[in-house]
Amino acid sequence: MHEIKCPKCGEVFQVDESGYAELLSQVRNEAFEEELHKRAKELEDKNKSDIKMAQMQQEKTFAQVISDKDRELANKEMEIQKLKNQISMGDSEKKLAVSEAIRDKDKEIADINAAVIDLKSQLANQKNESALKEKSLEETYKTQLKLKDEQIEQYKDFKARQSTKMVGESLEQHCQNQFNAIRMTAFPAAYFEKDNKVSETNSKGDFIFRDFDEGQEFISIMFEMKNEMDTTATKHKNEDFFKELDKDRNEKGCEYAVLVSLLEADNELYNNGIVDVSYKYPKMYVIRPQFFIPMITLLRNAALNSLQYQKELAVVRNQQLDLVNFESNMQEFKDAFGRNYRIASEKFQTAIEEIDKTIDHLEKVKKALQSSENNLRLANDKADDLSIKKLTKNAPSVKKMFDELNSDIE
């Protein structure tokens, strides 16, 4: 059992375990509810206060932010107005600048368009020129190819119609006919004849070409013509004749040696044009017959061009010879003058030596005369100092005689 005292009346009463528990539970629930309400009210009041404080702080912050924004907005509006003023003031300048820029750009575009048009025109002209050149070159090559084919056919026919014995002579006759056809127009002062003079070594070439300018020879060529039939058993090579041709050139006093050959018909080296073989023999060339006249023209023109230099060189050599003669005459004069000067110098030296000898002799005579004069002076001094007293100093008898003589005179 539990005893419970009433707080109001002070009466004590007892309750069993179940009643006590129920009563305790009621007390606890009421106190808890009361405390709970109290705590809830405190929390509510605190929340209201916090919310109010937060609202006040937030309102203050918002007011500051709004103030800042208003100030910033005012500044922005001032800047905008300033920019508007600047834009308004610079409109004319901007419009002028834009106008000038547009005008410059238009001019630049016009120039570019003109340049493009000009380039297109040049390109078109170049294309046309290239097309014309290609066409011209094509026609030229076709013509040259046709001429070459014709020449090949001509020489094939030429060789087919010749006997073995006449092959060489016919090639010589062919070249001679080619030269004679243009002799008077191209080579009016030239000599071109067969080499009929056999040298001491029993050798000769086929033709000799010489050309002259005002009687002066300025070029000479020794020609050798070689050909053989296709059916000939023994085939010769061009180089088989180089040594003999070089010997003929030297023996006949020619400057150049040219082998006109139809040998080695399949050798592309000799079929492509003029072949320079001066690496074996000086100033020697091998050609096909179609290059016979061009070869003469080429060498002649080159020599003719150098003839002026030869003449100028001859003038210089003559001037040098004149200078040598002048120097020789000057040297002869110097030698003669030196010889005469040497002889005159020797004579002058001899005369000087003779004069020196004469001067030495005169010096000796002078010294002798000076010595004689001194002796005369001494003699005169002694004569002046001579007296009777001195003369009779040691001769008393003579002194007596002079004393007596002086007495008689007185």
**Is the per-residue pLDDT at 63 higher than 80?**
no
pLDDT in the model for residue 15:
62
**Structure tokens of 368?**
């002798």
H or E stretch at 214: none
Q: Give 222 or 43, the one with higher predicted confidence.
A: 222
* Band (305; pLDDT cuts 50, 70, 90): confident
* Band (383; pLDDT cuts 50, 70, 90): low
DSSP characters over 30-61? HHHHHHHHHHHHHHHHHHHHHHHHHHHHHHHH
* Band (12; pLDDT cuts 50, 70, 90): low
H or E stretch at 86: helix 17-160
DSSP characters over 105-129? HHHHHHHHHHHHHHHHHHHHHHHHH
Answer whether 4's CB lies under 8 Å from 14's CB.
Answer: yes
**What single-letter DSSP state applies at residue 376?**
H
pLDDT digits (tens, 9 = 90+) for 355-368: 777 777 777 777 77
Q: Mean pLDDT, the chain, as a whole number?
A: 76
Q: Give 185 or 345, the one with higher predicted confidence.
A: 185
Q: Give 23 or 339, the one with higher predicted confidence.
A: 339
Q: Give 64 or 156, the one with higher predicted confidence.
A: 64
**Is the per-residue pLDDT at 32 higher than 60?**
no
**Structure tokens of 10?**
């002070």
Provide the percentage of residues in the chain whose pLDDT is more than 90: 21
50/337 Cα distance (integer angstroms): 143
**Is the per-residue pLDDT at 308 higher than 70?**
yes
Average pLDDT over residues 234-259: 92
Antiparallel, parallel or unpaired: β 256-261 and 284-287: parallel
* Band (116; pLDDT cuts 50, 70, 90): low
**Is the per-residue pLDDT at 151 higher than 70?**
no
| Whether this model's pTM surpasses 0.95 | no
* Band (24; pLDDT cuts 50, 70, 90): low
Other CB atoms within 10 Å distance of the CB of residue 322: 10
Choice among 182-186, 280-284, 315-319 with the minimum mean pLDDT? 315-319
Average pLDDT over residues 235-245: 92
Radius of gyration of the chain (CA): 74
310/89 Cα distance (integer angstroms): 86
CATH class of 165-325: alpha beta
β-strand partners of 12: 5
**Closest C-alpha among 297, 305, 304, 249 to residue 277:** 249
110/402 Cα distance (integer angstroms): 161
pLDDT in the model for residue 221:
96
pLDDT in the model for residue 162:
47
**Is the per-residue pLDDT at 164 higher than 50?**
no
β-strand partners of 192: 209
pLDDT digits (tens, 9 = 90+) for 69-99: 777 777 777 877 777 777 666 666 666 666 7
The most confident of the ranges 298-302, 305-309, 326-330 is 298-302
Average pLDDT over residues 277-287: 95
**Structure tokens of 25?**
């539970």
Q: What is the sign, positive or negative, of the torsion defined by CA atoms of 328, 329, 332, 333?
A: negative
**Is the per-residue pLDDT at 261 higher than 70?**
yes
The most confident of the ranges 3-17, 66-80, 241-255, 318-332 is 241-255
Chain centroid offset of residue 108 CA? 39
Other CB atoms within 10 Å distance of the CB of residue 195: 19
Antiparallel, parallel or unpaired: β 275-276 and 284-287: antiparallel
212/224 Cα distance (integer angstroms): 22
**Is the per-residue pLDDT at 107 higher than 60?**
yes
pLDDT digits (tens, 9 = 90+) for 177-213: 999 999 999 999 999 999 888 766 777 889 999 999 8
